Amino acid sequence: MATETTLILFKPDAVAKKNVGTVLARYEAEGFTIRGIKMMTLCDDILKEHYSHIADMPFFPSIMNFMQETPVIALALEGDNAISRIRDILGPTDSKEAAAGTIRGDFGDKETADSKMRNVCHASDSPEAAAAEIKRFFGEGEVF
């Protein structure tokens, strides 16, 4: 197994519902190690960079508004096969499709049309994305 470090963003719905500690405890119970953690407000520029693959879509302004409702918590987690394991623990992007026992199944928005956006956490989807995203959200000396 490869040791990887990946990025998690606790989205505004997790922060507002006070689910961050519970979700973080799940990651730690799975053996992941915190390498960096901080709370931050996301500016337009960082959101446009982070979501550059969908920044030209008509729904992008609603994503920006949502991601700026509260500060987010950026988390760098390390562990064996962290990227794929964390994505499995999270469940599918659409909280309505996420099984009970997954983070999105237990804490995601299943009641509204925003179930793909209000889904507790963002997680990197590849080693390349993880490296770029960690660099985007953490400065020099903030990941240990």
Catalytic residues: 122
Residue 135: enclosing H or E segment and its boundaries? helix 127-137
Pair of tokens at residue 126: 């590849």
Listed in sequence order, the residues at least 6 apart from 102 whose beta carbon sits closer than 8 Å to its beta carbon are 88, 89, 90, 91
Distance, in Å, from the CA atom of 144 to the CA atom of 102, rounded to the nearest integer, reads 28
- Cβ atoms of residues 92 and 108 within 8 Å: no
The identity of residue 100, as a single letter, is A
